[in-house]
Amino acid sequence: MRRLKRVLRVLPRRASISRYPVLKWFAATARRSWFLWSFKRGPLLRAIYLGSILSVLPLFGIQLPLSLGICLLARANLPVCAALQFITNPFTIVPVYGFTYLVGHYLLHFFDGESGGYDPSAALALVRSGEVLSAAGDVLGSLVLGGLVVGLAVGVVVDLAWRLGAWEATHFGARYRRLRERAAAARARDESPPGS
C-alpha cells in the first residue's frame, strides 16, 4: 500500500490540483465534483477505459488536460485516468505510436479488401507524387483507429488486473481476518486460568 501511495503522490488530488499548470484553472470545479475523486466501481471503470484509450491516441502533450475534461464529461475518476496517461512518455512514445499505427493501418486496409500488410513504399510513393495530405490522412487515420483498438485492449487488461487485485485483496483479507480471530481465540484459551 505504501508503494501505491508513493506512486499516486504525483497525481492530481483534490487538495493539490491547484498546483498543476493547466488544471489549476479548473480547480474549483474539480473540487466540487465528487466523482473525480471517487473509487467506486462506476467512475473507476469509466476512468480505466477512457484513460487507456486517451493514453495511446496521438495527443501527446495535451493528454492530462484532456483527461480532466473527459473525466468531467463522463463522470470518471481523475487520478486513475491521469495515471494511465503516463503509458506514453518520451521513452515509450515511438514504440506505442508505431504499434498503434501498424494496428490501425492493418485494420483500415483489411476492411478495404487489401492485404492489410504495411507497405512503406506505398506511403513514400504518395509523398513523392505530391499527395502529402493523402499520406498524412492515412497516417493520422491509422494512428487514431489503432489508438482506439489498442486503447480498448489496454483498458480490458487494466480492468481485469484491477478486478483480480480487488478479488485477491478481498479474499486474502477475509482469510487473514479469520486467521487473526483464530489466533486471538487460541491465545485467550491459553491465557485463561485452568479449571474455569
Q: What is the pLDDT of residues 167-183, one digit of tens each?
A: 888 888 888 888 888 88
Q: What is the pLDDT of residues 125-144, one digit of tens each?
A: 666 776 767 777 788 888 99
pLDDT of residue 108: 84
Residue 196 lies in a domain: no
Mean pLDDT of 74-95: 89
Indicate the pLDDT class of residue 26, thresholds 50, 70 and 90: confident
Check: CB of residue 158 under 8 Å from CB of residue 84: yes
Please count the structural domains in the chain: 1
* Spatial distance between the Cα atoms of 103 and 123, rounded to a whole number of angstroms: 16
CA distances from 51 to 34, 45, 59, 168, 194 (A): 18, 10, 12, 24, 62
Mean pLDDT of 108-131: 68
Residue 113 lies in a domain: yes
Indicate the pLDDT class of residue 89, thresholds 50, 70 and 90: confident
Q: Which domain holds residue 105?
A: 2-191
Using the predicted structure, report yes or no on whether residue 123 has a pLDDT greater than 70.
no
